[in-house]
Amino acid sequence: MKPADTAPASRTDCEAALYKLLQATLRIEALTSSRDSEFSKIQQNYAPRINRETEKVEALEAAIEAYYVSNRAELEANGQKSVQMAHGTLGMRTPANPALIPLNSKWTWDKITAAVLKTWKKRFVLPPRPAIDKVKLKKVLSQAELEACGLRLDGADKFYFELNRVTTPKEAA
């Protein structure tokens, strides 16, 4: 809060200052409401066009991923997991730290926790409640031991693309 230049000298002066504060506060609220109304109109005006373009982007991303996956052997013939194209780079990334996930839909985290507790007692349990230490499990257990408890490492390659960004759409033409 900004320090006061001068304090009201009397109760009447304080009432006058309070009235001015009320008026200024109401003007701020009216201006904010007007601004928000204008923003809303702008958003409503642009929303259909943005939604259409978003749908196009999603469809194109899916099509490009499908192309890459179906032609992966040809595109990665030189041993690299990416290919530079005229308007961007396409490729596959292997996660540096694969996630620990249930083996299949039959395994819930409660069942997995019970299996870990049954097999290794409290060796992989985090206090205070019986939650398993996923980091320690990944480091210590083999793939077969993980599978026995209903777990697997999700180290599958993930498709990615990076567009060669330009300043304006005309530059991309």
Of 79 and 162, which is predicted with more confidence? 162
pLDDT tens track for 29-58: 999 999 999 999 999 999 999 999 999 999
Nearest Cα to 132, choosing from 140, 123, 119, 142?
123
Predicted confidence at residue 172, as pLDDT, reads 59
- The model's confidence at residue 171, banded by pLDDT at 50, 70 and 90, is low
Q: Looking at the predicted structure, is the pLDDT value of residue 124 above 80? A: yes
Tokens describing residue 19 = 């009235």
Tokens describing residue 127 = 């206090």
| Per-residue DSSP letter, 157 | -
Q: Looking at the predicted structure, is the pLDDT value of residue 173 above 80? A: no
Predicted confidence at residue 154, as pLDDT, reads 84
Beta bridge partners of 100: 153
Predicted confidence at residue 117, as pLDDT, reads 86
Beta bridge partners of 35: none
Q: Largest Cα–Cα distance in the chain?
A: 87
pTM of the model: 0.57
Tokens describing residue 9 = 């000298």
Q: Looking at the predicted structure, is the pLDDT value of residue 159 above 70? A: yes
Predicted confidence at residue 47, as pLDDT, reads 97
- Residue 68 CA to residue 76 CA, distance in Å, equals 10
φ, ψ for residue 74, nearest 5 deg: -65, -45
Alpha-helical (H) ranges within the chain are 11-70, 72-75, 109-120, 134-140, 143-148, 169-172
pLDDT tens track for 2-35: 777 789 999 999 999 999 999 999 999 999 999 9
- Residue 156 CA to residue 148 CA, distance in Å, equals 20
Classify burial at 144, counting beta carbons within 10 Å of its beta carbon; exposed 0-12, middle 13-18, buried 19 or more: exposed
Average pLDDT value for residue range 109-127: 86
Beta bridge partners of 126: 131
Predicted confidence at residue 103, as pLDDT, reads 87
Predicted confidence at residue 157, as pLDDT, reads 84
Beta-carbon contacts of 61 under 8 Å, excluding residues fewer than 6 positions away, are: 161
- Residue 109 CA to residue 132 CA, distance in Å, equals 9
pLDDT tens track for 59-107: 999 999 999 999 998 988 888 889 999 999 999 988 778 888 898 999 9
| Per-residue DSSP letter, 98 | P
